């Protein structure tokens, strides 16, 4: 089932300045239509407490709520989908488990990984890191502008239309060049939620992507 996927995904994160719910509220008030709640530090009760508040915010503002991992919470709150961070996860099995209506996104560091995600029925994929990210430092090579261009050309040659989002260390200054590579959109966290004015930062991203 083809799903609507937004071009700009805002990812919440454990930061000192703002709670996850505050981040979702500010992003939605600024126009966000896609919130990925990424919290890997709380127990289920605490997660559901956050998720129920964020789901209401998303409902009020017409935004899609995606939860990172924690697929056991499916059906326990008004969650539209899950972003699976395990790059080895079997998406065919996940689809069977979660059903057609649930949006399922995956991550990859390679074009081969993107092709696998597409074949296994992922609804979208985060492809990164664009450059170094402090949100989840990792050792994967940076994709960079040329990497996105090459990957998108390969996907096109193979007739793969999976929506690919650039992720990892993206700032508003990068948006134009990234979007010119042919990726579908961008997912970002730190450049928005750690900006001096989060609302302003979200709006800058939004204006440049849309």
Ligand X SMILES: Cc1ncc(COP(=O)(O)OP(=O)(O)O)c(N)n1
Q: For residue 17, state whether it binds ligand 3NM (rule: CB under 6 A).
A: no
The residue within the footprint of ligand X, chosen from 47, 117, 126, 169 (CB under 6 A), is 126
Nearest 10 degrees: Cα torsion 13, 19, 20, 24: -120
Q: CA angle, corner 182, sides to 174 and 127, nearest 5?
A: 70
Nearer to Mg ion, 3 or 136 (CB): 136
Helix axis angle, 20-29 to 44-61, nearest 10°: 10
Task: Enter the tokens of residue 158.
Answer: 């193979």
The residue within the footprint of ligand 3NM, chosen from 108, 135, 181, 204 (CB under 6 A), is 135
* Integer Cα distance of 109 and 26 in angstroms: 30
Can you name the residues that pair with 11 across neighbouring β-strands? Answer: 36
The residue within the footprint of ligand X, chosen from 138, 156, 158, 161 (CB under 6 A), is 138
| DSSP structural state of residue 181 | T
| DSSP structural state of residue 141 | P
133 binds, among ligand 3NM, ligand X, Mg ion, none (CB under 5 to 8 A by kind): ligand 3NM
103 binds, among ligand X, ligand 3NM, Mg ion, none (CB under 5 to 8 A by kind): none
Nearer to ligand X, 38 or 70 (CB): 38
- For residue 126, the minimal CB distance to ligand X (Å) is 2
Q: Are 37 and 9 in contact (CB under 8 A)?
A: no
The residue within the footprint of ligand 3NM, chosen from 21, 80, 172, 189 (CB under 6 A), is 189
What residues between 5 and 64 interact with ligand X by CB under 6 A?
9, 11, 36, 38
Q: CA angle, corner 151, sides to 146 and 153, nearest 5?
A: 95
Q: For residue 181, state whether it binds ligand 3NM (rule: CB under 6 A).
A: no
Q: Which residue is nearest to ligand 3NM (CB)?
A: 168
């Amino acid at each position: 089932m083809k799903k609507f996927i937004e071009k700009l995904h805002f990812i919440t994160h454990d930061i000192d300045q703002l709670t996850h719910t505050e981040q979702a509220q500010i992003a939605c008030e600024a126009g966000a239509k896609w919130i990925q709640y990424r919290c890997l530090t709380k127990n289920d009760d605490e997660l559901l407490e956050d998720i129920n508040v964020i789901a209401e915010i998303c409902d009020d503002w017409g935004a899609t709520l995606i939860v990172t991992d924690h697929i056991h919470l499916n059906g326990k709150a008004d969650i539209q989908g899950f972003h699976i961070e395990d790059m080895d996860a079997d998406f065919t099995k996940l689809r069977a488990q979660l059903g057609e209506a649930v949006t399922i996104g995956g991550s990859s560091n390679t074009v081969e990984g993107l092709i696998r995600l597409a074949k296994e029925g992922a609804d979208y994929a985060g492809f990164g890191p664009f450059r170094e990210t402090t949100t989840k430092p990792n050792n994967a090579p940076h994709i960079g502008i040329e990497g996105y261009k090459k990957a998108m050309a390969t996907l096109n040659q193979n007739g793969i239309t999976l929506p690919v989002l650039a992720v990892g260390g993206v700032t508003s200054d990068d948006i134009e060049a990234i979007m010119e590579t042919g990726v579908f959109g961008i997912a970002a966290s730190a450049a928005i939620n750690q900006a001096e004015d989060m609302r302003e930062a979200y709006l800058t991203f939004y204006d440049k992507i849309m």
